[in-house]
Structure 1
Amino acid sequence: MLRLAGLIDGLNRGVARVLRWFALAMVLIQFGIVIGRYVFGVNSIWVQESVLYLHAMLFMLAAGYTLLVDKHVRVDIFYAKVTPAARRRIDIAGHLLFLLPSMAALAWWSWPSVRNSWRILEGPISVGGIEAVFLLKSLIPLFCALVALQSLAILARLFANEDAA
């Protein structure tokens, strides 16, 4: 089980390594948009939407990695003041009762929209934009899968540590 958890970690680390470049591309493209618009009077909706697509990919697909490195948002009302054993129980409960059911619900309820978008190859958000909204919507189930897989990897480690303790 821990070997599978390591493979999931590797998957999310690999995704994060690729996505780092998306952040750089997003900044450079946005800089180009500003220079093009205000210096040369040139504007492209397609290029503007490319920043939106990169931003969506960066945040949706990096969520599993963020969970892996424990840099996600955590409400530390009780967590910071309890023992490591209590933290482990809080983490297990959080993953089993909240995170995994949330990812399952989001995947379940978004799937018809994603499926329909692929069925019609849903076009651009704006006239002249990127003709691939179906790809943008596909980020939702990918987000759910990467976060849920990372949650399962964390749970495997939590249960393994509980057995060792």
Structure 2
Amino acid sequence: MEKCAAALERVNFVIGNTLCWAALGMLLLQFGVVLLRYVFGYSFIFLDEGVLYFHAAIFMLGAGYTFLVNAHVRVDIFYAKCSVRTQAWIDLFGHLFLLAPALVLLIWYSWPTVRGSWAILEGPISVGGIPASFLLKSLIPAYCVLLLVQGLAALLRDILRLKDTQA
């Protein structure tokens, strides 16, 4: 189980480290947009949309990595005071009955829109923008899959924690 969890976590680890470079790319692109607009007086919609695409990709694809490194927002009024075993049970419940169903529903309801967008290779958001809205919409199921992968890894780790505290 440990090896399986580690293999699943590796997916989000690699993506998270790659997205660090995407953040740098977004920063440089935004700097270029500002420089072009306010120094040279030029504005290009596709560059503005490029920043939006970077931003969306970083947040949507980085959610699994954020979960991996335990940097997500957590409101733990009672959780922190619980024993390791109780925390494992709470996490197990959350992963099985809150996280997974919500993500499966999101995939289910977003899939027709994503599929339709790919069917027509949906064009830009704005006139003169990046002709690839279908890629932007594809981030929704990708977000869900990456979080489900990390949720499964966390679930396996919860089971291991329960086994370890049982002995």
Whether the TM-score (by the shorter chain) exceeds 0.5 is yes
Larger mean Cα displacement after TM superposition, 79-88 or 19-28: 79-88
Find the counterpart in structure 2 of residue 106 from structure 1: 106
* Counterpart in the other structure of 1:81: 81
Is residue 71 from structure 1 mapped to residue 63 from structure 2 by the alignment?
no
Q: Does 1:28 align with 2:25?
A: no
User: Which residue identity is paired with 1:27?
Assistant: L
Distance 2:13 2:159 in 1: 22
Equivalent in the alignment of 1:126: 126
Alignment identity in percent? 53
The separation in 1 between residues aligned to 2:78 and 2:92, in whole angstroms, is 15
Residue aligning to 1:59: 59
The alpha-carbon deviation at position 5 of structure 1 amounts to 1.2
What residue number does 2:93 align with? 93
User: Displacement of 1:81 after TM fit?
Assistant: 2.0
Offset at residue 103 of structure 1 (A):
0.6
1:148 maps to 2:153: no
Amino acid at match of 2:61: L
**Structure 1 residue 161: deviation in Å?**
1.9
- Cα separation, 2, equivalents of 1:163 and 1:93: 16
| 3-state DSSP of counterpart to 2:124 | coil
1:164 Cα offset (Å): 2.3
Secondary structure in 2 matching 1:76? coil
SS at match of 1:4: helix
Equivalent pair of 2:64/2:150 in contact (CA under 8 Å): yes
Secondary structure at 1:129 match in 2: coil
| Structure 2 residues without counterparts, runs of 5 or longer | none
Opposite residue 144 of structure 2, the aligned amino acid is C
Cα distance in 1 between the residues matched to 2:75 and 2:101: 18
- 1:25-65 Cα shifts (integer Å, max 9, x gaps): 11111111111101100100001100000000000001111
TM-score (norm 2): 0.96
TM-score by length of structure 1 reads: 0.97
TM-superposed CA distance for 1:78, in Å, is: 1.3
How many residue pairs were aligned?
165
CA contact (8 A) 2:85 2:161 kept: no
Task: Say which SS state the counterpart of residue 130 (structure 1) adopts.
Answer: coil
Q: Secondary structure at the match of 1:138?
A: helix
CA distance in 2, matches of 1:56, 1:41: 27
Aligned partner of 1:47 in structure 2 is 47
The answer for the alignment partner of 1:4 in structure 2 is: 4
**TM-superposed deviation, 1:134:** 0.3
Q: For 1:84 and 1:156, how far apart are their aligned partners in 2?
A: 15
